[in-house]
Structure 1
Amino acid sequence: MGIGETMADMIAFPHLAVRAQDLRSIETVERKCRGLQELKYAEFKELFAVISATGLLPDELRLLTDSHAPKMVAREMVRIARLFSLVSMKTLQRLSYTHPLIFEGAQGVLIDEWHGFHPFTTWSTTTNANANVLLSEIMYPDVVTRLGVVRAYSTRHGPGPFPSESRELTMRLPDMHNGFGVWQRGFRVGWLDIPLTRYALAVSDGTDSLALTHLDRFASLSQKRVVRAYRVAKADLTEKEKSVMVTDKEQSNDDYLHIVSFRRKDILEDLGYQEMIGAILAKVTPVVEDIQCSEECFVDYVSELLFLPVDITSHGPTAFDKRERVQMQLAA
C-alpha cells in the first residue's frame, strides 16, 4: 500500500512531495521522482544484495536502480492526470450555483488520523471536516445534507480495537471487495457496535441522517445481534480513563461501569487521548442484545439507538437496491 510511508516522506521531505498542481508539468514531476528515487536508494541500498538473492520485489528494485524510471513514472502520472480536471476554488463555486456537489468519505471515521484509535489509523482526515471547510470557502448557497453510512454489522480491515468482533461472523460474511492483504491483513466482522458508532457520529463534524447498508447480508444470518454497551470493572480503570467515557449511571454499580460511548476530546492533536480509548476497549466486555423483530423494526431500533433518522437503506450492491425511507414515511 505505502500510504503511511508516503505521508511520512511528505512530512520529512516536503520539497519532494508530488502535489496535484505539479501534475501540469512533467518536468516538475520527473525532478521530484528522481529526488525520491535517490532518497530511497540511499535508504535501502544495504538490503539490495539480500533482496536480489531472494528473487523477490524485482519491480521495486528496478524502480530504485533504473535511471529511466523517474521519467517513466512522471509520464504515467501526467497521462493519468490529463484524464481529470484540476480546477480552482472559483470553478467549484461556479459549479455550486447550477449543480449539486457530492463529497464522499474515503474511509471510516474510526480510522481517522485524529479521532481513530492511534496508532491503528490512516494518515488523513476522514470526517466531514474537509468538506465543511470547502463548502464554507465557496459560500455554498444551498442546504447541506450530511449522510452517515453505517453497515448493519461492524467491520474492520486489519489490526486495531474491535470489541464486537466475531470469528463466526467473519467466516459467514466474507467481503468480495476486502480480501486478505499483505499490508492491511484480514477483513474482520462483528456485531453492530452502538457505543463506537455513537462515538464516530460525535466526532464526525456533523451528521444529519443515516444510510443503513448491507441489510440483505444481515438478513441472511440465523442469529442477529447488536452491541448495546460495554461493561468494565472500575478497578481496571484509571480516573483519567473514566473521564473519557459516557456511562449509563442506572446500569452502572459500585463495581462496574456501563459504557454507552466516549467523549470527543478538546485538543485535536492529542493522540494520547486516542491511545487511551484504545486501551479501554481492550478491557471491556460487550453487552450484546439479540434482535428478534422485522427488518423495518431493526432499522427503527438502530435509528432510536443512534438518535438520528435512517433516511436510506441498502439491500444489495446496486443503485436499484437502495430505498429512500423519507419518501416512504411521507407517503404513509
Structure 2
Amino acid sequence: MPSVVVVGTQWGDEGKGKIIDLFTGSAQHIVRAQGGNNAGHTIQIGDLEYKLHLIPSGILHPNTQCYIGAGTVIDPKVLIHEIKSLEERGIDTKERLWLSPAAHVIFPYHCLLDTLLEAKKGERFIGTTGRGIGPCYVDKANRIGIRIGELVRNDLFPKLLKSVLTLKNEKLTKLYNEAALSYELLLEEYSSYADTLRPYVVDVETRIHEALEKGENILLEGAQGTFLDITVGTYPYVTSSNTTASGICVGAGIGPRAIDHVIGVIKAYTTRVGNGPLPSEEKNSFLDHQSAREFGTTTGRKRRIGWFDAVLARTAVRYNSLDSLALTKLDILDNQETINICVAYSIDGVRTEHLPTLSCDIEKIIPIYETLPGWLTTTENITSIDALPPNARAYLQRIEQLCGVPISVLSLGPEREKTIIVNDPFTHEVAVR
C-alpha cells in the first residue's frame, strides 16, 4: 500500500494543511518529520478552524495514528498546550499521538538566544519566528542538545540540563550581558512537562517500519516549503531543517525507496513571509491580503505576494522528485483580468530559466512574464476540471506544461468540499473530468 509525502514547493503557507487533511482519511499513519512550532497548518472543517503547529493534521481524523518524528524540535510547553486545546474540542490524543525519543527539545535559552542573535545580525536579519528553532538545531549539530527520550528519563535529564545550562548561561552573561537562567526553575518546569509527555514517547521509527511491512498507508507531512530548506533554499533566508522530500524521509527514519508518491503543494501565485528574495514579487500587490487570507499561520505577519513562478516551481519539482502538484487558491485569482506567469529570469541582461544558487544573484532577477487572460467568474463551487472556465483550464494546463508534472489536486477554497481530486495517490482513482 502507498506511502505518500506531501511537501511545500514554495516558501511555506502553500495550503499543505488542507491537502494533508484531504488524504488523511486514506491513511492509517501520519508522520510529522521535521521543523518545530515555527510552522503552522490551518485546517477548515465546516465552520471550525484548527491551527496546528506541532501535532500532525491527521489527529483530526479519529482512526489515525500520528507521529512526531526524530527530525523535529519540540517545545514541550507548546505541544502540551496543543494537546489540551484539541482535547477541549473533543479530540483525544491518547493512544493516537506518539513522540520519537530522538526529537530534540526546545528550552527557554533557545528562544532567548534566537531573539538576541537576530538583533545582532544587522543587514543579515532573517525575520525568524523567535521560537528557538535555529538555536535548538545548532545544539543538535554541536551534539549538546537534549532529546525527548532524555527529557523523560529522571536518571538522565537533571545532569544533562545542568551541563548544557552552564554553557548557555556563560554565553548569555558574557556575550549578551543577560541574566543567567535558573537551573532549579528550569528543572522544575521541564520535569513537569516530562511527566505529562512520558506516555506519548515510544520508538516511533520502529512503529513506522512495522506499518510499512504490514502494507498500511502512511502519509508524511512536510512543514514549511522547499525554498526554506537549510541546504537548497534561498540561504541565508531559510529555516534550520531540511524541508524537501528527502529531508522528510530522514526525519521520519525511513529510506526514499519506501515512498510511492510525492505531492508538491503549490499556490496559484507565490507568497513569502519575512525577508529574502521573491523574484516575482509585486510591491503593489494585485491581491487584497484580507480577502486572500494572506497572513502567516504562526506569526500573523502579512505575506508578500508575487505571480506564479514557473522557474521556482520547476526547481522544486527537481529537488523533491515530485510526481504531481496540488494547486491551491485558484479561486483567489477569479477577479484578475490578466494573469502573469514568470517563465524565465533576466539577470544582468542575460535570460536564464534556472534559479541561481546565491541569494545576492536571486535579488538581481527581473522576471520575464507570459500573460494569460483571466476568467472573471467565480470558481469556488466548481466540482470538476471540465466545468472550470476555459481560461482557468488554460492557466492550469500552462502550469502543467511549464512544471513537467500533472496537477492531481485542485483547491478552490479553504473548506474540504471545495476541492477537485483529479488523481488520488492512495487509491489511484482518476476523477471524471
Give the conservation status (yes or no) of the 8 Å contact 1:120–1:160.
yes
Rounded Cα–Cα distance in structure 1 between residues aligned with 2:303 and 2:157: 35
Rounded Cα–Cα distance in structure 1 between residues aligned with 2:162 and 2:141: 18
Is 1:106 matched with 2:207? Answer: no
Report how far residue 132 of structure 1 moved.
Answer: 4.5
Equivalence for 1:320: 417
Report how far residue 330 of structure 1 moved.
Answer: 5.2
Equivalence for 1:11: 141
Rounded Cα–Cα distance in structure 2 between residues aligned with 1:176 and 1:282: 23
Is 1:225 matched with 2:308? Answer: no
Rounded Cα–Cα distance in structure 1 between residues aligned with 2:304 and 2:154: 41
Equivalence for 1:303: 400
Letter in 1 for 2:150: D
Is 1:169 matched with 2:285? Answer: yes
Report how far residue 196 of structure 1 moved.
Answer: 1.3
User: Could you give the per-residue CA deviations for residues 52-110 of structure 1, whole angstroms, max 9, x where no partner exists?
Assistant: xxxxxxxxx6x81362222312321452353x352253322221224201111112111
Aligned 1:261-280 pairs, distance under 5 A: 261-262=354-355, 274-275=357-358, 278-280=359-361
Provide closer, same or farther for how the CA distance between residues 330 and 11 of structure 1 changes in structure 2, counting only shifts above 3 A.
closer
Aligned 1:207-286 pairs, distance under 5 A: 207-233=322-348, 256-262=349-355, 274-275=357-358, 278-286=359-367
Asked which structure has the greater RCO (Cα within 8 Å, sep 6+), the reply is 2
User: Could you give the per-residue CA deviations for residues 136-170 of structure 1, whole angstroms, max 9, x where no partner exists?
Assistant: 38x74xx7111011111111121111111112328
Rounded Cα–Cα distance in structure 1 between residues aligned with 2:134 and 2:248: 22
Report how far residue 23 of structure 1 moved.
Answer: 4.0
Letter in 1 for 2:147: R
Rounded Cα–Cα distance in structure 2 between residues aligned with 1:42 and 1:131: 35
Give the conservation status (yes or no) of the 8 Å contact 1:214–1:314.
yes
Give the conservation status (yes or no) of the 8 Å contact 1:33–1:73.
no
Provide closer, same or farther for how the CA distance between residues 68 and 131 of structure 1 changes in structure 2, counting only shifts above 3 A.
closer
Q: Secondary structure at the match of 2:285?
A: helix
Provide closer, same or farther for how the CA distance between residues 171 and 291 of structure 1 changes in structure 2, counting only shifts above 3 A.
closer
Letter in 1 for 2:369: V
Aligned 1:63-142 pairs, distance under 5 A: 64-65=181-182, 67-80=184-197, 82=199, 84-96=200-212, 97-132=214-249, 134-136=253-255, 140=258
Q: Secondary structure at the match of 2:243?
A: coil
Unaligned runs of 5+ in 1: 52-60, 234-255, 264-273
Report how far residue 27 of structure 1 moved.
Answer: 4.1
TM-score normalised over the length of structure 2: 0.57
Equivalence for 2:172: 44
Work out the number of aligned pairs and report it: 278
Letter in 2 for 1:313: L
Give the conservation status (yes or no) of the 8 Å contact 1:113–1:124.
yes
Q: Secondary structure at the match of 1:169?
A: coil
Rounded Cα–Cα distance in structure 1 between residues aligned with 2:201 and 2:334: 42
User: Could you give the per-residue CA deviations for residues 157-197 of structure 1, whole angstroms, max 9, x where no partner exists?
Assistant: 2111111111232862354650795xx97531111111111
Is 1:35 matched with 2:152? Answer: no
Report how far residue 220 of structure 1 moved.
Answer: 4.2
- Structure number, greater radius of gyration: 1
Rounded Cα–Cα distance in structure 2 between residues aligned with 1:231 and 1:47: 44
Unaligned runs of 5+ in 2: 1-130, 375-390
Give the conservation status (yes or no) of the 8 Å contact 1:192–1:226.
yes
Give the aligned CA root-mean-square deviation in angstroms: 3.0
Report how far residue 312 of structure 1 moved.
Answer: 0.2
Provide closer, same or farther for how the CA distance between residues 112 and 71 of structure 1 changes in structure 2, counting only shifts above 3 A.
same
Q: Secondary structure at the match of 1:320?
A: coil
Report how far residue 317 of structure 1 moved.
Answer: 1.7
Which protein is richer in helix relative to its size?
1
Identity of aligned residues (%): 22
Rounded Cα–Cα distance in structure 1 between residues aligned with 2:172 and 2:410: 49
Report how far residue 307 of structure 1 moved.
Answer: 0.7
Give the conservation status (yes or no) of the 8 Å contact 2:152–2:197.
no
Provide closer, same or farther for how the CA distance between residues 322 and 26 of structure 1 changes in structure 2, counting only shifts above 3 A.
farther
Give the conservation status (yes or no) of the 8 Å contact 2:421–2:431.
no
Provide closer, same or farther for how the CA distance between residues 79 and 186 of structure 1 changes in structure 2, counting only shifts above 3 A.
same
Equivalence for 1:292: 373
Give the conservation status (yes or no) of the 8 Å contact 1:180–1:186.
no
Rounded Cα–Cα distance in structure 2 between residues aligned with 1:304 and 1:298: 10
TM-score normalised over the length of structure 1: 0.73
Report how far residue 257 of structure 1 moved.
Answer: 2.6
Letter in 1 for 2:352: I
Equivalence for 1:202: 318
